[in-house]
Amino acid sequence: MDAVEVRGLRKAYGDTVAVDGVDLSVAPGEVFALLGPNGAGKTTTIEILEGYRPRDAGTVSVLGEDPATAGADWRARVGMVLQTSGEFDALTVGEVVNHFAGFYPGSDDADAVIERVGLTDKRNARTHALSGGQKRRLDVALGIVGRPELLFLDEPTTGFDPQARLDFWQLIRDLAAAGTTILLTTHYLHEAEALADRVGVMRGGRVVAVAPPAELGGRATAAAVVSWQTPDGVSETVTDEPTALVRQLSERFGGEVPGLTVNRPTLEDVYLRMIGGQA
C-alpha cells in the first residue's frame, strides 16, 4: 500500500478551481517534492492530505485512512510543518517542544529533537526572541517530535541561512534513512534535487509531470551543450553525443580543451518550461 494515494482530487473556492483532478501516489519511505508556482494548488493539496481542509471530490488515502475522517490514532502517526507557524510567545523553546511531545504516545526526547534542529543554545529562550529562521527550526522540531511515519513539510526552509539549510537537508536524509515517508513543497529547486526521490510539478491545479529529478522532462537524455574557448571567442555545439565530441576536441587540442564545459538542461530549465514561465 502506498503511503499516499490520491485519485481525482478536486477543490474549488467559489468559481476558482484550486485543485483540478489531481492523481498522486507516494511510496512508503519515499521523499517526494511537490513543485509549482504560487497559486498552483500545492498548499491546498497538502492541507487536504493533512486533514486540515475538506475536498470537493476525489479519493484520498494517507497511511491507509481517509484524512477527512481519521481519528487521533492516525494523527499521532503524521507530522506536519505548515507554511505559517503557531505563536508561543510566552513559552521557551524547551517548554513548547516538551508540551507537543506530550501529544504523542511514542514521542522522541524533546532535548534530542531541539539539538537535531540546531536550537540547543536557545532552549531557554522565549520564542518571541527567536529570529525568523530559528522559529522555522522550532516548527520543524514540533513536526518531528512525535516520530511520524509520514512527515508533511510545506516550504520548510524558508528563512534558513545556507548552513542551516544544509543541516536541515541532513536531518531529512536521516529521517528518510530511518523509514519516514516525506512529502514536501519547496520553491528551492536545488533543495528538491538534493533531497527528493521523485518530484511532481503542479500548474493550474493539475500535476503535469512526475519523475526523479534527474529524469524530469527528459533531462537524462536531452541534448548537451558543449562549449570551449577558441582564439576568436567561445564556440559551442548542441549534440546528442557529447563524449564523442569531447574526444574529438581533445585530439584537436592535443589534450586539455580550453574552457571546456558540458551542460544538459538543469532542473530549473525543465521546471520553467513546464510551468510556462510563471513566476
Q: Where are the domains of the chain?
A: 4-217, 223-263
pLDDT at 107 over 50: yes
Instruction: Give the predicted TM-score (pTM) of the model.
Output: 0.86
Q: Which residue has the cell 525568523?
A: 132
According to DSSP, the residues that pair with 200 across neighbouring strands are: 34, 210
Q: What is the pLDDT of residues 43-69, one digit of tens each?
A: 999 999 999 999 999 999 999 999 999
Question: At 279, is the pLDDT very low, low, confident or very high (cuts 50, 70, 90)?
Answer: very low
Long-range contacts of 194-197 (CB under 8 A, 24+ apart): 194/169, 195/31, 195/33, 195/169, 196/31, 196/32, 196/33, 197/30, 197/31, 197/32
pLDDT at 129 over 50: yes
CA distances to 72, 137, 152, 178, 180 from 64, in Å: 14, 29, 16, 20, 15
CATH number of the 4-217 domain: 3.40.50.300
The pLDDT value given to residue 277: 58
Cα–Cα dist 25/6, whole Å: 6
Average pLDDT, the chain: 92
